[in-house]
Amino acid sequence: MKTQISSVLAALLLLCFAFIGTIARAVSPAPDGGYPGGNTAEGQNTLLSLSTGGFNTAVGFLSLRSNAVGQLNTGIGAGTLLANTSDSNTAIGAGALLSNTTGSQNVADGAFALFSNTTASQNTATGFEALFSNTEGHANTANGFEALSSNTTAVANTATGFQALAFNTTGSVNTATGSGALTFNTTGSFNTADGEDALHDNMNGAENTAVGEEALLHNVDAVNNTAVGFQALTNNISGVANTAVGFSALINNTGDFNIALGNNAGLQLTTGSANIDIGNGGVAGESNTTRIGSVQTKTFIAGIRGVTTINNNAMPVLIDSAGQLGTASSSRRFKTDIEHIDKASESILALKPVSFRYKVHKDTAPQFGLIAEDVAEVNPNLVIYDADGKPYAVRYEAVNAMLLNEFLKAHRKMEEQQKEIDELRTQLKRQAAVIQRVTDRLEVRAATSLAVNSEP
């Protein structure tokens, strides 16, 4: 419909100018179509108004009809550069640059390309109705059927492909490469779309980058998104500042500040925000989560071993059966059913510490610890089990707590024994003092009795 209407309007304009042309009379050219000043004209009413303009070429009905002083213009096709008065324009195709007046250094190649352009300069349009509606927008490049056909005043856009940036009106500094790329963009600026239907539905969204077929396909008004790969961020409509790299990465995302890297990375993610999914499909609706890998069995990370943290509040990192990393909190705020261990820790006294070497490290120094199977027989709660329900690891932090409890029990017992010992020592001291006093008295009596018996 859009093409039919614009084509009819263009045809009517040509007919109007044709009627005017029957009243006026052009300068008679030489037999080879040459005019003075390096001008060339072939066709009815071509270069009709020429006065001092030089080095112009007009071929076709009404081509360069109004040009008087303009120079270095080339119009090939009916109505090309019909209203032109400026310099250095090139129009090839019926109606190309038909409305141009003072715009200069424009290139239009295709029927009705840059048809509405009036004062804008330095535009390049190649293809049927490319930059058709442009009036004042400059430095635009359109290459393809109806590429940038609705652009009016926007500047510095580049559209290559069927209907690339076709509906853009005032959005500037956009780049669209591929059939349907940024087709429905109207006012959004600073977008880059490379691939068929990349950013196809974008209207007002700005500063987005889409590379790959259907990347950011349904984006409408979201900003600052980057999608690289087939259908990356395809269904994102208003989510902002997302980065997706890989086949179908973040394809169902509608949240913000998500990062996905890899084939189908973040595939399951929907409304969640601030997630990082690398080689992982993610989980619908979750936020503030990092997931790396899905089927891997080993992880190597540089920059950890042998490096001391700069803070003195470092904590050990643990991993649960779901693969989540974290730390164990000791705050009362996160605990319930708090009870004293009492006698429950006595079982650890049956544990048997051993020395050993791991089978994969047979040539290394021996290590010391416990055997999970042995610990499970003593206290199953002190063991972590694998997916098959077999003993896998020992909860040494729980063992330490039980050891502490047994130590404290023994320590309290020792304190009680020490108290008894101290009391016995006190009693012994008192008894020794009593015995000493008795001994002293006995010695005095013995001395007195001896003196009496020795008198004559």
User: Tens digits of per-residue pLDDT, 257-276?
Assistant: 999 999 999 999 999 999 99
Tens digits of residue pLDDT in 121-151: 999 999 999 999 999 999 999 999 999 999 9
Domain boundary among 144, 171, 198: 171
Global pTM exceeds 0.75: yes
The verdict on 203 and 274 lying in the same domain is yes
Q: At 319, phi and psi to the nearest 5?
A: -135, 135
Percent of the chain with pLDDT over 90: 73
Domain boundary among 239, 271, 295: 295
* pLDDT given for residue 341 in this prediction: 85
pLDDT for residue 14 is more than 80 = no
Mean pLDDT of 312-320: 87
pLDDT bin (cut points 50, 70, 90) of residue 440 is: confident
Question: Please, what is the average pLDDT of the chain?
Answer: 91
The verdict on 158 and 26 lying in the same domain is yes
Greater confidence (445 vs 401) lies with: 401
Mean pLDDT of 157-162: 98
Terminal Cα-to-Cα distance of the chain (whole angstroms): 162
Residues 174, 179: Cα–Cα separation, whole Å: 15
The verdict on 34 and 162 lying in the same domain is yes
Give domain status of residue 31, yes or no: yes
Tens digits of residue pLDDT in 208-258: 999 999 999 999 999 999 999 999 999 999 999 999 999 999 999 999 999
Domain boundary among 143, 171, 199: 171
Residues 362, 278: Cα–Cα separation, whole Å: 35
Give domain status of residue 330, yes or no: no
pLDDT for residue 376 is more than 80 = yes
* pLDDT given for residue 6 in this prediction: 57
Domain containing 383 equals 340-456
The verdict on 239 and 360 lying in the same domain is no
pLDDT for residue 296 is more than 90 = no
Residues 146, 137: Cα–Cα separation, whole Å: 16
Greater confidence (308 vs 73) lies with: 73
Tens digits of residue pLDDT in 168-201: 999 999 999 999 999 999 999 999 999 999 999 9
Residues 207, 429: Cα–Cα separation, whole Å: 92
pLDDT for residue 26 is more than 60 = no
* pLDDT given for residue 314 in this prediction: 86
* pLDDT given for residue 195 in this prediction: 98
pLDDT for residue 23 is more than 50 = no
pLDDT for residue 162 is more than 50 = yes
Give domain status of residue 163, yes or no: yes
Mean pLDDT of 380-397: 93
pLDDT for residue 11 is more than 70 = no
Highest mean pLDDT among 194-198, 409-413, 440-444: 194-198
pLDDT for residue 338 is more than 70 = yes
pLDDT for residue 321 is more than 60 = yes
Give domain status of residue 310, yes or no: no
Percent of the chain with pLDDT over 70: 92
Positive or negative: CA dihedral 387, 392, 397, 403: positive
* pLDDT given for residue 403 in this prediction: 92
- Report CA Rg, the chain: 46
Contacts of 87 by beta carbon, 8 Å cutoff, 6+ apart? 70, 71, 72, 73, 104, 105
Contacts of 129 by beta carbon, 8 Å cutoff, 6+ apart? 3, 6, 110, 111, 112, 113, 115, 145, 146, 149
The verdict on 112 and 217 lying in the same domain is no
Q: Which of 188-202, 328-342, 368-382 has the lowest mean pLDDT?
A: 328-342
The verdict on 437 and 291 lying in the same domain is no
pLDDT for residue 107 is more than 70 = yes
46-52: list long-range contacts, CB under 8 Å, 24+ apart.
46/75, 48/21, 48/24
pLDDT for residue 55 is more than 70 = yes
* pLDDT given for residue 202 in this prediction: 97
pLDDT bin (cut points 50, 70, 90) of residue 16 is: low
Give the bridge partners for 177, in sequence order: 160, 194
- DSSP strand pairing (39-42 vs 34-35): antiparallel
The verdict on 73 and 143 lying in the same domain is yes
pLDDT for residue 13 is more than 90 = no
Mean pLDDT of 299-321: 87
pLDDT for residue 409 is more than 60 = yes
pLDDT for residue 323 is more than 80 = yes
Q: What is the residue whose two structure tokens read 């859009």?
A: 2
The verdict on 199 and 96 lying in the same domain is no
Contacts of 196 by beta carbon, 8 Å cutoff, 6+ apart? 161, 178, 179, 180, 181, 213, 214
The verdict on 166 and 195 lying in the same domain is no
Give domain status of residue 12, yes or no: yes
Give domain status of residue 328, yes or no: no
Greater confidence (316 vs 197) lies with: 197
Give domain status of residue 321, yes or no: no
CATH of the domain at 31: 2.150.10
pLDDT bin (cut points 50, 70, 90) of residue 24 is: very low
* pLDDT given for residue 1 in this prediction: 44
The verdict on 94 and 136 lying in the same domain is yes
* pLDDT given for residue 21 in this prediction: 43
pLDDT for residue 4 is more than 60 = no
Give domain status of residue 235, yes or no: yes
The verdict on 126 and 209 lying in the same domain is no
pLDDT bin (cut points 50, 70, 90) of residue 350 is: very high
Residues 92, 105: Cα–Cα separation, whole Å: 14
Counting the structural domains of the chain, the total is 3
The verdict on 39 and 144 lying in the same domain is yes
